[in-house]
Amino acid sequence: MADATVMEKIVSLCKRRGFVYPASEIYGGLNGFWDYGPLGVLLKNNIRDWWWRNMVECPPIGPDGHPIDMVGIDTAIIQNPKTWVASGHAGGFSDPMVDDKETKQRFRADHLWGAWCIKVHDVVHDDPWQEVDVTAILNLDAYAPNLTIVASGVGEAAESFITELCKTARLEPLEGQVEGPFNPVGGTAAIIVRNKKEKMRKEVWGIKNIPTAVLNDRPQSIPSPFTQKSGALTQPRRFNLMFETFVGALKDESSKVYLRPETAQGIFLNFKNIVDTTRVRVPFGVAQIGKSFRNEVTPRNFIFRSREFEQMEMEWFCHPDEAAKWYDFWKQQRMDWWYSLGVTKENLRFRDHAADELSHYSRMTVDIEYKYPFTAPDFGELEGIAHRGEFDLTQHSKHSGQKLDYFDQELQLKLKEQGASPEQIKAKSRYIPNVIEPASGLTRAVLVLLCESYRQEKGRQGTEELLSLLPRFAPIKLGIFPLVNKDGMPEIAQKLYLDLRTRFTCEYDPKQSIGKRYARMDEIGTPFCATIDGQTVQDQTVTIRHRDSMNQERIAIDKVGHFIAAQIAGE
């Protein structure tokens, strides 16, 4: 079940310790926008630099045993508006949205969940889940639900329905003692609510995502998630997600442009420039990190879905005959990269897109999904790896009038040596490359590491909360403390700080008790603290405290730098 309490504590910690703030907070904030504080920007930059290092500066070894070709680029946020016509965003970049005619609230059609009362009974079984009919849950679309809720996943939906069942007047006097959820098939769940006033009475409820087709056919039968009244919902309608703005002095259709909804198109627009000005040859990749903007109608779940976010995208250009091979290659490479951040394998999975959910450009797509606290026991989207075929370069070639095909001279020579005919050589050696696209969100990666590293340990000295980040990604690598602010200890601690600050992100703190300083470092994810005490003055050793275990060891003060470097490198 989704754990709302854990998520609330993570959000609270992020605000209290300076990771993430609501944007424009002194004016009441702005929904869907967030500011990254002093520690949040350090964490974000550490993830960004690791992605860039692994993708551009030191890219993976390819299937042939040699390093692949990869270059970086940084393109403009605002491009010629014809870009978005060619890409399909201007006409088709939209989500099906549903409006509540009474409250005027709007939500994504695919985020509507229904709850149906399947069974009311008085018999208490040893295993109450024997009474849950999986088939009944899967076939609930034929009936109007008793209640609806807006949620991004089955775990969040189950949690919200429990709250709703406990407070809804129509269902009183239920008080919601939950004995679930049950998750037999992705996208479904069940909960059991017990009426405490009638000890033997239980109700079994099935939870399922309401298909958009059902909303299209009979919206009048579906209760509103805001008022639970039937007949208040409209049929799903398309809502374009791109932000509009204007360039120049006049504000009319001729000067209208868009903030980019993805970073990918800037890469496609520069395909010819990169081939002409660098030494890359197909297959090769172009990577980019940058801001994107989507006018999400229902931003939710902290920084999971926001209107301004950063992406880490790469477009891999390859021969059409090799696209399937490279799709499999990048699929595994990207999963391995998430493991390198310290994300446990149990919290990650692949999910292939069904045919009816593929984007217009996609031949096949797989999502890497993560088990967020607000989606558990289900998973939520994290990164997509898409086989885009030749769609993008073909579209931009057609709309711009520029040739964006590729002449493969090496392949031409190889085919000649093999005795291929001139027609075969021409057909094979000049082509429009296929594209494999691994696209992930940098800001979503920040959320994943916050969720993955958050710990609550009852009875822990100083604080029961900590962030167990790998040293490489921790905002602060080392806290440096004099045990007391006298007896020469501050001077030694300051010297150590000055020696190490050019190599690592360190923090010198002489204030408060040592326990409170340790507790603060635990909460912000600092893996190690070096304490200068009376023994340091005598033998030039310091106490190194380990965040996760709270164990302490003494090492020579001139070895502290090597120790931290080795820990960051994972030695």
pLDDT per residue over 182-219, tens digit each? Answer: 444 456 777 777 665 665 667 778 888 888 888 888 88
Q: In the chain, what percentage of residues exceed pLDDT 90?
A: 64
| Pairwise pLDDT comparison (1 vs 33), residue with the higher score | 33
Residue 374 to residues 5, 211, 371, 547, Cα–Cα distance (Å): 9, 21, 8, 27
pLDDT, residue 69, reads: 96
pLDDT band for 437, please (50, 70, 90 cuts).
Answer: very high
Segment holding 116, helix H or strand E = strand 112-121
- Give me the half-sphere count of Cα atoms (radius 13 Å) on the Cβ side of residue 195: 15
pLDDT, residue 168, reads: 56
pLDDT, residue 551, reads: 95
Q: For residues 474 and 263, give the distance between their C-alpha atoms in angstroms, rounded to a whole number.
A: 27
The answer to whether the beta carbons of residues 294 and 79 sit under 8 Å apart is no
Residue 121 to residues 116, 176, 191, 218, Cα–Cα distance (Å): 15, 15, 14, 31
> Could you report how far apart the first and last alpha carbons of the chain are, in Å?
37
Nearest Cα to Cα of residue 205 among 121, 86, 103: 121
Given a cut of 50, is residue 170 above it in pLDDT?
Answer: no
pLDDT band for 359, please (50, 70, 90 cuts).
Answer: confident
pTM over 0.85: no
| Main-chain phi, psi angles of 389, to 5 degrees | 60, -145
Q: For residues 485 and 481, give the distance between their C-alpha atoms in angstroms, rounded to a whole number.
A: 9
Domains detected in the chain: 4-93+244-451 (3.30.930.10), 99-238 (no CATH), 461-569 (3.40.50.800)
pLDDT per residue over 261-292, tens digit each? Answer: 999 999 999 999 999 999 999 999 999 999 99
Given a cut of 50, is residue 173 above it in pLDDT?
Answer: no
CA–CA–CA angle 359, 75, 88 (5° rounding): 25
Nearest Cα to Cα of residue 193 among 524, 201, 420, 20: 201
Which residues have C-beta within 8 Å of that of residue 464, sequence separation ≥ 6?
456, 457, 458
pLDDT per residue over 393-428, tens digit each? Answer: 999 999 999 999 999 888 888 888 888 888 888 888
pLDDT per residue over 115-153, tens digit each? Answer: 888 777 665 555 555 566 666 666 777 788 888 988 877
Residue 376 to residues 61, 110, 183, 302, Cα–Cα distance (Å): 35, 18, 10, 16
Which residues have C-beta within 8 Å of that of residue 531, sequence separation ≥ 6?
481, 482, 483, 514, 542, 543, 545
Query: Mean pLDDT across the stretch 333-359?
Result: 91
> If you average pLDDT over every residue of the chain, what do you get?
88
Give one DSSP letter per residue of 484-535, joined into a string. Answer: SS-TTHHHHHHHHHHHHTTTS-EEE---S-HHHHHHHHHHTT--EEEEE-HH
Query: Mean pLDDT across the stretch 372-384?
Result: 89
CA–CA–CA angle 206, 376, 12 (5° rounding): 125
The answer to whether the beta carbons of residues 465 and 13 sit under 8 Å apart is yes
Query: Mean pLDDT across the stretch 108-116?
Result: 88
pLDDT, residue 203, reads: 73
pLDDT per residue over 442-456, tens digit each? Answer: 999 999 999 999 999
Segment holding 311, helix H or strand E = strand 308-318
pLDDT per residue over 474-514, tens digit each? Answer: 999 999 999 998 999 999 999 999 999 999 999 999 999 99
Instruction: Tally Cβ neighbours within 10 Å of residue 67.
Output: 11
- Tokens 């008790």 belong to 513
Given a cut of 90, is residue 571 above it in pLDDT?
Answer: no
Helix, strand, coil shares of the chain as percentages rounded to 5? 35, 25, 35
pLDDT band for 167, please (50, 70, 90 cuts).
Answer: low
State the DSSP code for 41.
H
pLDDT, residue 198, reads: 60
Q: Exposed, middle or buried: residue 570 (CB in 10 Å: 0-12, 13-18, 19+)?
A: exposed
pLDDT per residue over 209-259, tens digit each? Answer: 888 888 888 888 899 999 989 999 999 988 778 999 999 988 888 899 999
Sheet holding 506-508, edge to edge: 506-508, 478-482, 528-532, 541-546, 552-556
| Pairwise pLDDT comparison (133 vs 528), residue with the higher score | 528
Strand-pair category, 308-318 with 434-441 = antiparallel
